[in-house]
Amino acid sequence: MSTLIKNVLVEGKKRNIYIEGNVIEEISGTKSSKAAEFVIEGKDKAAIPGLFNAHTHAGTTLLRGYADDMQLQEWLETKIWPVEAKMTEDDVYWGTKLACLEMIKSGTTFFNDMYWHWRGSARAIAESGIRAALSAVFIDNFDEGVANEQMKRNEALYEESKKQVERIIFTLGPHAIYTVSEESLCWVRDFADKHDLLVHIHLSEIKEEVEDCIKRYGLRPVEFLDSIDFLSPRTIACHCVHLSRKEMELLKKHDVKIVHNPTSNMKLSSGRMPYEELKRAGLHSNIALGTDGCASNNNLDMFEEMKIASLFQKAFSGDTTCLPANETFELATRNAAKMFRLNSGVIAEGKLADVVLLDLKKVELVPNHNLTSNIVYSANGSCVDTVICDGRILMEGRHVEGEDEIKDKAKEIAYELVR
Ligand SMILES: [Zn+2]
């Protein structure tokens, strides 16, 4: 399969982009024109890399707007967990279909997920054409029997994942240090080492997590994970809000990857990830950006997340130069590609063909003094016109195959679940 995008802006210059299979084969002047199966007119459009949502729980789109503005523990115990307990594999399939649809419509071509019913999510991702790192939630609540079940389930899913489409990366998803026992965390460490897997975990999200960890283990969360040799360059630590200087040094020492989730942190009043301090510790290129789940965001629009990240950091550091537009854009593209070991995150020859075309006629993008500034501070998901992932056109002129059916079915399931 081949696609030619004609007369499109690439870093300020008019270019033709020729895609062969799932790779950007050639970026050339607009005169040279290779014959391709599909031709997209790129006039008044700009090509940017597909955005990366580095931490989410896609199935929770079904809970969008179901319960907000509550105390965290009450919110989880009386609203979120009871509904999640009722969810079937098919429910998660439709919830993830809805999430993939929303991500495609807002220019996201990759997401890093942790949710129940792995198979339901995998099926939705395979069909949608999007790329994802997919973990099952590993929670044992310090119960040995449950821990053994979880290990067996993950071993089975890992084997199963080898038969899945290549766009799906199997990862391990130990939920957090307060829901997973030390023994299980050590099992995760060994299994991940043996099979070279990424490990997706929530870390130091709220103050109570740090206090409980000190009570249980006599150490702060990052120190504890260091003490059991859990940390590695394959660790994807989400949130990282409450960190001591020593913990930042440990994260740097082990080359740990970090995901900032500003909207969720603000909505759940968790605190702020110390971006400038992590940058000073030499971790800037290790940080990516995520929306977290729809129950605590409440959407998956990475344009919105970029703006909020930048403003959040500025507001709380008192420094207007903190997290500027170009760095923010890197969190959602280049840094995340490195984190997930993907040859993408920029528009260049030889890279994976995960390409988004922005509609430069959208009022939010006029005038175009500086595209990166417009992307981070002014645009929103509706400025995306075309989305290509793995060389396949998933949206053109904002049309996505099967959109109405996905919305209708997800709505029906969501209402049924909360009835
Ligand atoms: Zn989360």
Centre of ligand 1 to C-alpha 61, Å, is 13
Centre of ligand 1 to C-alpha 377, Å, is 25
294 φ, ψ (degrees, to nearest 5): -70, -15
Look up the pTM and report it.
0.98
Nearest CA-CA partner of 291 in 273, 274, 306: 306
Centre of ligand 1 to C-alpha 143, Å, is 22
Q: CA-CA distance, 293 to 283, in Å (whole number)?
A: 25
Centre of ligand 1 to C-alpha 72, Å, is 13
Centre of ligand 1 to C-alpha 56, Å, is 6
For residue 121, how many C-alpha atoms fall within 13 Å in the half-sphere facing its CB?
29
Nearest CA-CA partner of 18 in 223, 337, 311, 37: 37
Q: Which residues of the chain have pLDDT under 50?
A: none
Centre of ligand 1 to C-alpha 202, Å, is 6
Centre of ligand 1 to C-alpha 232, Å, is 20
Centre of ligand 1 to C-alpha 257, Å, is 15
Centre of ligand 1 to C-alpha 260, Å, is 11
Centre of ligand 1 to C-alpha 124, Å, is 20
Q: Which helix (H) or strand (E) holds 41?
A: strand 38-41
- The residue type found at 291 is T
Q: What is the pLDDT of residue 72?
A: 82
Centre of ligand 1 to C-alpha 415, Å, is 23
DSSP string, 270-316: -----HHHHHHTT-GGGEEE----GGGS----HHHHHHHHHHHHHHH
Q: CA-CA distance, 218 to 220, in Å (whole number)?
A: 7
Centre of ligand 1 to C-alpha 151, Å, is 21
Centre of ligand 1 to C-alpha 385, Å, is 29
Q: Which helix (H) or strand (E) holds 173?
A: strand 168-174
Q: What is the pLDDT of residue 311?
A: 98
Centre of ligand 1 to C-alpha 363, Å, is 33
